[in-house]
Amino acid sequence: MIEYDVVICVGCLIKDETMHFEYMSESVSNGITTLNLKKTAPIIFGVLTCLTEEQARQRAGLMEGQFFFFFFFFFFFCFITSIFIFQTKK
């Protein structure tokens, strides 16, 4: 079995007209929480939960002029968080 030092979960859930959004959001959150409790490697929650596709594009930094800022901030945040959690789980 392969062991990892850090796992970063990246994704996006967009609400539609059905209740699937709530079920999926809860399932993803619970799954990542369960993995964090069972595994020694930190698992970072990087999943966007958005109400509309436009909101998802804004949060993902895909609107004009935001691209570099978002990716720099997001990966810097994930990197710093993973180091902090990795050090505390040792």
Domain count within the chain? 1
Distance separating alpha carbons of residues 12 and 23, to the nearest angstrom: 14
Domain that holds residue 47: 7-89
Q: In terms of Cα–Cα distance, which of 71, 14, 81 is closest to 47?
A: 14
Confidence at residue 67, expressed as pLDDT on a 0 to 100 scale: 57
69 has pLDDT over 70: no
Q: CATH number of the domain at 27, please.
A: 3.40.50.960
What is the Rg, in whole angstroms, of the alpha carbon atoms belonging to the chain?
A: 15
Q: Is residue 2 part of a domain?
A: no
3-59: per-residue pLDDT in tens?
Answer: 777 888 888 888 877 778 888 999 999 999 998 898 888 888 888 888 988 888 777
Which two three-digit tokens encode residue 42?
């930190």
Q: Is residue 30 part of a domain?
A: yes
Q: Is residue 21 part of a domain?
A: yes
The residue annotated as part of the active site, out of 4, 10, 20, 34, is 20
Distance separating alpha carbons of residues 25 and 10, to the nearest angstrom: 13
Query: What residue spans of the chain are helical by DSSP H?
Result: 20-38, 53-59, 67-89
Confidence at residue 58, expressed as pLDDT on a 0 to 100 scale: 79
Q: Active site includes 9?
A: no
